[in-house]
Structure 1
Amino acid sequence: MRTGLDTPISLVRGVYLPRGADAAAFTMTSYGIPLLVLATTGSASLTGLAFALAWIPRIGAFTVAGALVDRYGSARVFRAACLARAVVVLLAAAFLAGLAEAMQAATVTVMLLAALTGVLTEFSYVAAETAGGAASRAAGTGAHRVQSVLLGIDQSAMLAGPALSGLLLEHTGPAAMLGVLASFSLLAAALGPREHPAPAGVALRKGGGLRAGWVTLRSLPALAWLVAGLMVSNGAVALLQAAMPVIVVTELGRSSTDAGLIWSAAAFASLLAITASRTAIDRWGLWPVGAVAAATAAGATLTLAHTSTYHGYVLLIAVLMAGEGGLAVVLRTLRSHLIPPHAFGSTLAVTILLLLLPYPTAGLLVATLPPAQLGHAITAAAILQAIGLATAFTRLRTLPALTPRPA
C-alpha cells in the first residue's frame, strides 16, 4: 500500500518538517518544563517529582498511543496530539500569568503541565515514529538514509531545545517559553501529512501487541542483551537529566540558561558521534563500535560522579552523550537487522517501554533525596551503568549478530 511518502519532496514535507517541529516541542517539554517547575516553586523535590510526572504517564500511554495509531492512522493522531499539547501549554501560560501571587495554585499548574505534556508528547512521538517507519519501508534500499535523517533531526532539536528553553525562561519569563513551545506544537500539527485512516471496524488490541513483542524480543538474544544493557545505562542518564536543574541552579548557583546549555552541548557531541558511528560501523562492524561507545559512556559517568564544577559537567555530559549517541546507532542498526517485519511494531514498543522505565524512577529519586546526596546517587548509578554495559557487551561478543560487518 502506498503511503504518499515516496518522493524526496513528500518526504521533506510529509515526514521531515513535521518531525522537526515536533522534536523541538519534545525537547522543550522534556528539558524546559523541569526548569520552569524549579523557577516557579524553588523546590528541588518538586522538580524531581515533575520529572517523574512527565515520564510515568508516557509509559502508561504508550500502548494506548500505539493502538490509536493502528486504528486511526499516524497523521490523525499526530495532529490531534500536537494541537492538544498547544492548547494545554497556552492554558498553563495564561493561568501562570494570573497567578503571580498565588504560589500554591502556580505549583499545581506547573505540575499538571508536566504530566499532561508528557502524555501528549508520547502520542505525537509514537505517531511520528510510525510515519518514519512507513517512510523507511517505502524507501526500500534507501531506508537507512531516511532513518539517518530522522535521527539527525532529533539530535538537532536536542541541540537547540534545552538552550532555547533556558534562554527564554531566564530572559523573557515562563509565558514566552511556553508560547514558543505551543508555537512548535501548532507548526507540527499544521505540517502533519494527510493520510487515510485504517479501515473502519478495526478493533483496538489490548496488550496483545506487547505480548507478541516480548516473545519476539526474548527470541533475539543479541537484541535482548543490548536492550538490557542500555536500560541500565539509561538509569544513569535519566538521573543526570532529572538532577541537572537542581545541581546547576541550586548547588552551583548558575542560571537556567546554563542548565539548558549543558544538554545542548551534549546534543552537539551526540550528533557528531552519530555521524562518525555510521562510518565506523561500515569499516569495523557493530561490536567494536558499540563496545567503544559503551566504554566512553560508562567512563564519563564514573568521572562525572566526582565533578563539582560547571565546566566539568558540560564536558563530561557531552562525552557521555557522545557515547550514548554511538550506542543509539548500534541499537537502531541491530534492531532493523534482527526484528522480523511482521513483529517489528510490537517489538519496537517493548524495547522503547523498557528503555523508558528508568526515567520516572530517576525523577522520584531526585524528589526524595536531599540535594547534597545526589552525588552519591550518581556514583551508584555510574557503577551500575558500567557493570550493565560491560556485562551486555561481554555477552554480545559471543553472539553472531554483532560480529559481521553490515553489508
Structure 2
Amino acid sequence: MNSAARHGHARGPAGLMGGIYLPRTADALAGAMTTYGIPLLVLATTNSAALTGFAFALEWIPRLAAFGWAGALVDRRGAAVVFQLASLARASALAAGAVLLHLYPNGPVASVTVVVLAATTGVLTEFSYIAAETAGAAAGRRAGRRAHRVQAVLLGIDQTATLAGPALAGLLLLAGPPPMLALITGLSLLAALLALRTPPSPLTSARAPKGQSGAGLLTGWRTIRSLPALGWLVTGLTLSNLATGLLQAAGPVIVVQHFGQSTTAVGLVWSAAAGATLLSVTICRFALDRVGLWPVGAACAILASLACLAAAQAPDYLSYLVLVAVLMAAEGGMTVVLRTLRSRLIPPEMFGSTLSATILILLLPFPVAGVLTALTPPDALGHVITVCAALQALGLFCAFARLRTDPALRT
C-alpha cells in the first residue's frame, strides 16, 4: 500500500468525511438536479412529450460514449484530478446555459440550449461519477470486511441527493430556468473545491496507455466475463434498468399529462423514491451483516419486480408515487449488493476500466427508454411499461437463481 493509501487509512472517519463523503455529496446533488431537472426543463420549455423523451435519450447517449475515456483517464490520472476538472467544466456549461436562457427564455435558442445542456452535463456528470466511485472503492478496500458499510454510506449520499434534487429542481423551475441552473452551477463549483481534500487514489495506474478508451472498455469487459457472479448480477440489473429507465423517462409525461399534476409533482415522485431508498439502504446495511448478500439481493429483486408490474397499472398519482418509491427502494438494496460485490472482486489495477464497462452496460437501457418514450403515444405508455416490467422480473429471477450457490455472494 502506498503512502497516500496509508495516510487516508490513518485518518479514519475524518479522512472519509472530508476526502470522500463531502465531495460526493455536493457532486451527487448537482448530478441529481441535472438528471431529473433537465427533462423537466425541456417539457416546460417546449411542452412536447416527444422532445422530452428525445432529450432524455440525448442526455444518456453521450454519457455512454464517455465511459471508455472516463475509466481510462481515471486509471491514468487519478480520481481526484478527474473529479475536480469534470465538476469545473460542468459548472462552466451550466453557467453559460443559465445566461442564454435568461436572454432567450423561449423559441429556438431556448430549445437548442436545453438539448445541448442535456448532452454536455450528461457527459461531465459521468466523468465525475466514475472518479467518485473509484475513490469510494478505494475507501471500501481499506475498510476490509466492512466494505459494505462504506458502500451503504455512499449509496445513502446518492439517495439523499436524489431525495432533495428532483424536488428542489422542480421548485426552482417555478421561478424560471436560470435560478435552477445557477444553483447547480454553485454545487458543481463546491464539489470541485471539496475535491482538493480527496487523497490520491491508490488505484491509479501510471502505465495506463494514453488515448485508448476502447482498450480500457475491452479490459473491463474481459474482467466482467472472468467474474461470473458479477456478470450475472450486471445482466439482471441491466434488464431491471430498462423498466426503471422507462418510468424515469416517461415520468414527466405520465404525471403532468396523464395524471394532470404539476412539474413539482414529478420531482416529488423521485424525492419520495429517494427517501424510501435511503431507508432501504439503512435496513440493508444491517441485514447484510446478518444474512449475507444473496438473501438480501433476492428479496429486493422480488419486491422490485412486483412493484414495477403494479406501477404500470397505477390508477392515480398517489398509488403511482408509492409504487415507484417501493420499486426504487428495492433497486437500492440490489445496488448495495452490486457495489459490495464489485469492490470485493475487481482487481485494483483495472478497477476504473472495469467500473466503466460495468456502468456502461447498466446504463445502456436508459437511452433506449428515452427513445421508447419519444416513439410511444402517451396513452400506450402503460402497456410498454408492463412489457418492460415482465422482462425485469424474468432477468432478475434468472440472475439470482444462478447466483444462489455462488460463493462470492455467500462470503
SS at match of 1:254: coil
Kept after mapping to 2: 8 A contact 1:297/1:321: yes
Contact 1:93 1:175 in 2 (8 A): yes
Q: Is the partner of 1:5 in helix, strand or coil?
A: helix
| Partners of 1:199 and 1:393 in 2: CA distance | 34
| Equivalence for 1:280 | 287
Distance in 2 (alpha carbons) for counterparts of 1:134 and 1:111 = 35
Question: What's the TM-score once normalised by structure 2's chain length?
Answer: 0.93
1:232 maps to 2:239: yes
Which residue of 2 is the match for residue 191 of structure 1?
194
What is the deviation of 1:142?
4.8
* Equivalent residue letter for 1:61: A
**Which structure 2 segments of 5+ residues have no match?**
none
Alignment counterpart, residue 171 of structure 2, candidates 158, 167, 170: 167
AA at the equivalent of 1:184? L
Query: What corresponds to 2:223 in structure 1?
Result: 216
- 1:333 pairs with one of 329, 333, 340: 340
- Deviation of 1:255 (Å): 0.8
The letter for the 1-side match of 2:34 is T
* TM-superposed deviation, 1:191: 1.1
Q: Which residue of 1 aligns with 2:3?
A: 2
Q: CA separation of 1:210/1:54 partners in 2, compared to 1, >3 Å: closer, same or farther?
A: same
Aligned to 1:93: 98
Which shows bigger deviation, 21-30 or 347-356?
Answer: 347-356
**C-alpha distance 91-386 of structure 1, shift in aligned 2 (>3 A):** same
CA distance in structure 2 between the partners assigned to 1:341 and 1:79 by the alignment:
22
Q: Distance in 2 between matches of 1:24 and 1:251?
A: 28
The alignment status of 1:395 with 2:402, answered yes or no, reads yes
Q: How many residues were matched structurally?
A: 402
| Aligned counterpart, 1:127 | 131
Paired residue for 2:33, among 23, 28, 31?
Answer: 28
Please tell me whether residue 207 in structure 1 is matched to residue 205 in structure 2: no
1:188 maps to a residue whose letter is A
Q: Distance in 2 between matches of 1:36 and 1:203?
A: 40
Match of residue 320 from structure 2? 313
AA aligned to 1:167 is L
| Contact 2:221/2:354 (<8 A) preserved | yes
* CA drift at 1:271: 1.1
TM-score (normalizing by structure 1): 0.93
1:271: which partner in 2?
278
Contact preservation (8 Å) 1:366, 1:374: yes
Deviation track 1:285-318 (CA, whole Å, cap 9, x = no partner) reads: 2222211100100000101111131101110001
Q: Report Cα offsets for 1:192-221 as digits up to 9, x if no partner.
A: 125669798863244223222222222222
1:15/1:193 contact within 8 Å kept:
no
Q: Note if contact 1:269-1:321 (Cα within 8 Å) is conserved in structure 2.
A: yes
Are 1:353 and 2:360 counterparts? yes
Counterpart code for 1:174: P
Sequence identity (%): 60
1:13–1:193 Cα contact (<8 Å) kept: no
Tell me, yes or no, if the aligned pair for 1:25 and 1:181 is still in contact at 8 Å: yes
In the other structure, the counterpart of 1:176 is 179
The one-character-per-residue Cα deviations of 1:44-66 (angstroms, maximum 9, x if unpaired) are 11111111111100110011112
- Which shifted more, 85-94 or 276-285? 276-285
Q: 1:127, 1:254 → 2: CA distance?
A: 37
Partner of 1:50: 55
Instruction: For structure 1, list consecutive stretches of 5 or more residues without a partner in the other structure.
Output: none
